[in-house]
Structure formats: structure tokens, C-alpha cells
Amino acid sequence: MNGDVLTDIDYGALLARHSAGDAVVTIATKVRQIQVSLGVLRFDDDLDHTRLTGYDEKPAIEFTASMGVYGFAPRALSYIDAGEQLEFPDLILRLIAAGEIVRAQPSDDYWLDIGRHEDYEQAQEEFESVRHRLIPPD
């Protein structure tokens, strides 16, 4: 798992499901939304993109994100050369290109990527709201 993840996901359940399946990698995923703070224009397919076909005021875009929590089959190591520096997305694309199965495991568990400023602030706010229950007063 990534080091900047705050989650209560059941790692045992993730790994059990991964081990029982056929995937070389299982990636825990979470549906997230990003609120665009601008009006977004849609255009006709004309060459100069000047004829508007729509206008979305501050839309929310929904996407599926990697939670930074993974299960790997040992055979995944055979796709990495000794001493090779390989970014995670590049490894996943290499596995897919080789015909390996990579699966997502959708999650409804609590998850924040505290490497993101917004998520880090949310984690701090949530901690402060429950701090009195977790840490006894002096």
C-alpha cells in the first residue's frame, strides 16, 4: 500500500479475494468526485472548436480512483527487470499489454489520500472532532 493512505479497508478480505481470483494484481478502488470550479464549454466537432453545443456550470466529475492498496501475485515480479525503476502505472500498463489480468476491487471503506492537501485537511478536521474520545486529557 502507499504510505500516504488513511483507510479502514479490510486488508485480509482484499488479499483473500485476490488470492482466490485469476488476477496478477488487484487494485482497491473508490469512486470520487472532483468539483470543477469553472464553467466548462462543450463544442461541435468543427475544426476550430468555436461552435458551442453546451455549457456546464461548475460540473462535478465522477471517476474511479486507485486507493493505493494492492494485492500482487508473485508472478508480477517477472515483469520487472533487476535494478529497474518502474512507476506503478507503467507496471500496470505493462501487465495489461502482456495479457495479464488486472482487476479492481471497489470499496465503500473509509479512505483519504493524505498526500493531497484537501484530504490531509479533512483528516485533521476529522481527528480534531474525535480527539477527546481517543486521547485522555492530561
Give yes or no for residue 50 having a pLDDT over 90.
no
CA distance 111 to 8: 7
Q: Name beta bridge partners: 7.
A: 111
User: pTM to 2 decimals?
Assistant: 0.81
Q: How many domains does one find in the chain?
A: 1
80: domain CATH number?
Answer: 3.90.550.10
Sign of torsion over alpha carbons 60, 109, 106, 91: positive
Give yes or no for residue 138 having a pLDDT over 90.
no
pLDDT of residue 48: 75
pLDDT tens string 70-97? 999 999 999 999 999 999 999 999 999 9
> Which of 25, 126, 41, 114 is CA-nearest to residue 76?
25
Segment 3-26 shows an average pLDDT of 96
Return the SS3 of 60: strand
pLDDT of residue 100: 98
pLDDT tens string 91-110? 999 999 999 999 999 999 99
Q: Which domain holds residue 38?
A: 5-134
Which residues, 6+ apart, have CB-to-CB distance to 82 below 8 Å? none
For residue 55 the three cell numbers come to: 455549457
